C-alpha cells in the first residue's frame, strides 16, 4: 500500500526529539489545550468537512491533501483530516505535516504509539483506505493462490452461514517495516484473551472466538517476518490488529498464500487446539495465620485466575471438575531474589490480576529482608469489587507498619473517596518517595501490557534506573 518516507522522525533538530528529560513539547496558543480539543470534538462541528459521511480514500486522493489547511493522514488504514487538530498538537504543526497526505503509521508509532488516537481523532475520521482487489478466485486451490487484501465473503469456506452482517473478515496493510493484519470480528466483546496468534517460519496463524466458533486466519506469508509481533484490540468496534515486523524493508505485493482452513469459522468443539497460558503462582494467603488444608503429600500450587466469560481459555478452566487434569509446565521467569539484597524501600505497582506476582514478593519481603524499612503497594482496579484480597491487604497493613497500601480506581462509584484514575506522573511522583535520599530501592510493576509499559516509561522519567525497576510481562 503506502510507503512511509524514510526520513528521520521527529527531525534531528525538532522540538519533539527525545531529550534526557523526555519529549519536549511546543507551547500551544491559548485555548488550544487537550480539554479545548475535547470540547471542540464534542461541539458537533463538522471537523472532516464531509458532514459525517465516511469515504473510501485512494492513494491518489490521500496525496492531494497535503497542506496545513487541508491535511489528511492515514494511520493503520484509516484516514483522518488532522487540519482542525494542528493547533492542538502538543508536538507542533510541523511534526504533523511530516505525514501530510501519506501513511503516518510508522512515524506515529515511533513517537507515541501509546496515544489513543482512535478516540482523540474520532471526529476527524474521513474513512478507510481503499483496498486493492483480491487476487484469489477459487479458494480451494489454496497453494496456488495469493492473498492480497480483503476476501469477498462468497469466497470463504465456512461451517456457518457465509453471508450475513456479522461474518468476520480481515485485510492487511503495510508500511516500510511493518505489516498489519486487521481482523474485523463484528462483535464487541472481543478481548486479548480471546485471541491466539502463532507464527513459525513463514506460517502465520491467528484464531479468535466468534460465538461458538473459531475464526481462523492461516497464511503462508510471502516474506519473512521477525519473531516479535504485537496484538491490539479495539473493543468498541471488535477490531483486532496484529502487527508483524518485516525482516527486510521491502514492499510486499501480496500477503501470502492461504493454508488449511484459512478464513473460515470452525465450531470450537472440532478444533482440538492446545492452549498454553502463563500464570504466576501465589501463596494460599497473605496472612501467616492461614493454614493449608491437610492433604496427602502436602504439596500445593495456588493460582489466582480471573475468568473472562468471553475468553478462550479461562471459561474452560472454570468448567473443570475435581478429578480433571491440566498439564502444568516447570516454572519460568527471570525475577532474581538477589534483587532484594540490602533493600530498604520496595514499591509495588499492580493493576488487576497483575497483583499476583506481588503476593509472594510481599510474603517474602516482610519476613525475609532484615534491611527493609518500607513496602508500598499501589493497586489499580476498575471498581472496589475488583480489588483482589482487599481485606487481607488491609489486615496485613494494620499488622505490619512497614506496609502501606493505596487503592486507585478507574471506574469508582461516586461515594469512593480514595484515589481515582490511571497510572500517571502525578500519582507516581507522590507515591514513590524514598525513605532516605540514597536508600536502596526496587520498584516492581505488573498489569495489562500497556499499563506496565507506560509505568516503566514514567519510572524512567522519574529517574529510577533500569536496575531499580522490575516489570513482569506475561
Ligand atoms: P483490568 O481489570 O482490565 O485493569 C486493571 C486496571 O488497570 C484498571 O484500573 C484499568 O483501567 C487499568 N488499565 C488497563 N489498561 C490500562 C492502560 N492501558 N493504561 C493504564 N491503565 C490501564 O486488568 P485485568 O483484566 O485483571 O488484567 C491484568 C493483566 O495483567 C492481564 O493482561 C494479565 O495478563 C497481566 N498479568 C501479568 C502477569 C505477569 O506478567 N507475570 C501476572 C498477572 C497478570 P480501565 O478501567 O480504564 O480499564
CA distance readout (Å), 352 to 108, 194, 366: 29, 18, 22
- Encode pLDDT of 6-39 as tens digits: 333 333 333 333 333 334 467 788 888 888 898 8
More confident residue, 291 or 160: 291
Using the mean position of ligand 1's atoms as its centre, give its distance from the Cα of residue 281 in Å. 17
Predicted local confidence at residue 312, as pLDDT? 76
Predicted confidence (pLDDT) at residue 468 exceeds the cutoff of 90:
yes
DSSP states of 126-195: EEEEPPPPP----TTSGGG--B-SPPPGGG---SS-SSSTT--EEEEEE-SSEEEEEEE---TT--GGGE
Predicted local confidence at residue 8, as pLDDT? 32
Query: pLDDT band at 52, cuts 50/70/90?
Result: confident
What distance in Å separates the CA atoms of residue 223 and residue 322, rounded to the nearest whole number? 47
Query: pLDDT band at 144, cuts 50/70/90?
Result: very low
| Residue 468 burial by Cβ neighbours in a 10 Å radius (0-12, 13-18, 19+) | middle
Do 400 and 366 meet the contact criterion of CB atoms below 8 Å apart?
A: yes
Do 197 and 205 meet the contact criterion of CB atoms below 8 Å apart?
A: yes
Calculate ∠ Cα 219-223-227, nearest 5°: 80
Do 244 and 229 meet the contact criterion of CB atoms below 8 Å apart?
A: yes
**Average of per-residue pLDDT across 461-467:** 93
Query: pLDDT band at 452, cuts 50/70/90?
Result: very high
φ, ψ of residue 74 in degrees (nearest 5)? -100, 130
Cis peptide leading into residue 10 (ω within 30°): yes
**Average of per-residue pLDDT across 252-276:** 77
More confident residue, 266 or 70: 70
Strands 213-221 and 203-210: antiparallel
Predicted confidence (pLDDT) at residue 106 exceeds the cutoff of 70:
yes
- Encode pLDDT of 231-250 as tens digits: 888 877 788 999 999 999 99
Predicted confidence (pLDDT) at residue 455 exceeds the cutoff of 90:
yes
DSSP states of 219-261: EEESS-EEEEEEEEEETTTTEEEEEEEESS----S--EEE-TT
Using the mean position of ligand 1's atoms as its centre, give its distance from the Cα of residue 382 in Å. 9
Predicted confidence (pLDDT) at residue 396 exceeds the cutoff of 60:
yes
Strands 374-381 and 403-409: parallel
Nearest to 230 by CA among 263, 262, 255, 206: 206
Predicted confidence (pLDDT) at residue 147 exceeds the cutoff of 90:
no
What distance in Å separates the CA atoms of residue 18 and residue 12, rounded to the nearest whole number? 10
Question: Which residues is 181 bridged to in the sheet?
Answer: 172, 242
Lowest mean pLDDT, pick from 65-69, 82-86, 192-196, 287-291: 287-291
More confident residue, 293 or 306: 306
From atom 19 of ligand 1, which residue's Cα is the shortest distance away?
Answer: 451
Residue 408, all three cell numbers: 486507585
At 40 the three-state DSSP class reads helix
Do 345 and 434 meet the contact criterion of CB atoms below 8 Å apart?
A: yes
- Encode pLDDT of 410-427 as tens digits: 999 999 999 999 999 999
Predicted confidence (pLDDT) at residue 456 exceeds the cutoff of 50:
yes
Using the mean position of ligand 1's atoms as its centre, give its distance from the Cα of residue 452 in Å. 8
Question: Which residues is 406 bridged to in the sheet?
Answer: 378
Residue 251, all three cell numbers: 514492499
At 363 the three-state DSSP class reads helix
Predicted local confidence at residue 16, as pLDDT? 31
Using the mean position of ligand 1's atoms as its centre, give its distance from the Cα of residue 71 in Å. 36
Predicted local confidence at residue 2, as pLDDT? 32
Predicted local confidence at residue 113, as pLDDT? 60
Question: What average pLDDT does the structure give for the chain?
Answer: 80
- C-alpha 282: how far from its chain's center? 25
- Encode pLDDT of 353-371 as tens digits: 999 999 999 999 999 899 9
**Average of per-residue pLDDT across 294-302:** 63
Query: pLDDT band at 81, cuts 50/70/90?
Result: very high
What distance in Å separates the CA atoms of residue 380 and residue 341, rounded to the nearest whole number? 27
CA distance readout (Å), 36 to 88, 123, 372: 8, 14, 46
Model pTM above 0.85 = no
Predicted local confidence at residue 256, as pLDDT? 86
Question: Which residues is 292 bridged to in the sheet?
Answer: none
Report residues whose beta carbon is within 6 angstroms of any ligand 1 atom.
280, 306, 351-354, 356-357, 380-382, 386, 410-411, 422-423, 446-448, 450-451, 454, 472-474
Amino acid at each position: 500500500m503506502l510507503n512511509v518516507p524514510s526520513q528521520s522522525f521527529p527531525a534531528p533538530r525538532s522540538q519533539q526529539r527525545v531529550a534526557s528529560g523526555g519529549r519536549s513539547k511546543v507551547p500551544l496558543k491559548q485555548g488550544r489545550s487537550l480539554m479545548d480539543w475535547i470540547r471542540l470534538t464534542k461541539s458537533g462541528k463538522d471537523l472532516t468537512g464531509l458532514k459525517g459521511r465516511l469515504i473510501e480514500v485512494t492513494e491518489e486522493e490521500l496525496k492531494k491533501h497535503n497542506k496545513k489547511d487541508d491535511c489528511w493522514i492515514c494511520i493503520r488504514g484509516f484516514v483522518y483530516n488532522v487540519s482542525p487538530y494542528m493547533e492542538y498538537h502538543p508536538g507542533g504543526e510541523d511534526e504533523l505535516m511530516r505525514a501530510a497526505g501519506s501513511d503516518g503509521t510508522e512515524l506515529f508509532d515511533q513517537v507515541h504509539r501509546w496515544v489513543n488516537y482512535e478516540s482523540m481523532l474520532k471526529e476527524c475520521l474521513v474513512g478507510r483506505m481503499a483496498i486493492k482487489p483480491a487476487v484469489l478466485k477459487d479458494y480451494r486451490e489454496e497453494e496456488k493462490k495469493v492473498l492480497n487484501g480483503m476476501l469477498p465473503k462468497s469466497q470463504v469456506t465456512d461451517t456457518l452461514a457465509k453471508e450475513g452482517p456479522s461474518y468476520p473478515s480481515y485485510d492487511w496493510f503495510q508500511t516500510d517495516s511493518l505489516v498489519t493484519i486487521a481482523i474485523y470480528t463484528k462483535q464487541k466483546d472481543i478481548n486479548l484473551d480471546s485471541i491466539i496468534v502463532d507464527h513459525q517460519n513463514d506460517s502465520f496463524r491467528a484464531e479468535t472466538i466468534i460465538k461458538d466458533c473459531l475464526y481462523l486466519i492461516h497464511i503462508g506469508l510471502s516474506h519473512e517476518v521477525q519473531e516479535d509481533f504485537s496484538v491490539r484490540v479495539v473493543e468498541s468496534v471488535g477490531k483486532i490488529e496484529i502487527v508483524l515486523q518485516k525482516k527486510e524493508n521491502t514492499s510486499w505485493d501480496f500477503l501470502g498464500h492461504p493454508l488449511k482452513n484459512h478464513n473460515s469459522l470452525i465450531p470450537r468443539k472440532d478444533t482440538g487446539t492446545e492452549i498454553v497460558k502463563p500464570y504466576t503462582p501465589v501463596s494460599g494467603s497473605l496472612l501467616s495465620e492461614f493454614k493449608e488444608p491437610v492433604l496427602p503429600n502436602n504439596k500445593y500450587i495456588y493460582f489466582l485466575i480471573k475468568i473472562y466469560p468471553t475468553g478462550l481459555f479461562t471459561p474452560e478452566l472454570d468448567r473443570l471438575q475435581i478429578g480433571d487434569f491440566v498439564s502444568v509446565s516447570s516454572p519460568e521467569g527471570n525475577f532474581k531474589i538477589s534483587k532484594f539484597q540490602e533493600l530498604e524501600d520496595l514499591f509495588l505497582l499492580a493493576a488487576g490480576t497483575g497483583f499476583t506476582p506481588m503476593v509472594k514478593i510481599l510474603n517474602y519481603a516482610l519476613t525475609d529482608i532484615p534491611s527493609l524499612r518500607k513496602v508500598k503497594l499501589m493497586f489499580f482496579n476498575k471498581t472496589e469489587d475488583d480489588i483482589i484480597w482487599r481485606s487481607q491487604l488491609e489486615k496485613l497493613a494494620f499488622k505490619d507498619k512497614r506496609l502501606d497500601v493505596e487503592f486507585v480506581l478507574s471506574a469508582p462509584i461516586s461515594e469512593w473517596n480514595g484515589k481515582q484514575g490511571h497510572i500517571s506522573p502525578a500519582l507516581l511522583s507522590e507515591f514513590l518517595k524514598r525513605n532516605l535520599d540514597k536508600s536502596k530501592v526496587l520498584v516492581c510493576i505488573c498489569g495489562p501490557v500497556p499499563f506496565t509499559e507506560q509505568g516503566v516509561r514514567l519510572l524512567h522519567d522519574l529517574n529510577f534506573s533500569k536496575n531499580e525497576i522490575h516489570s513482569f510481562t506475561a
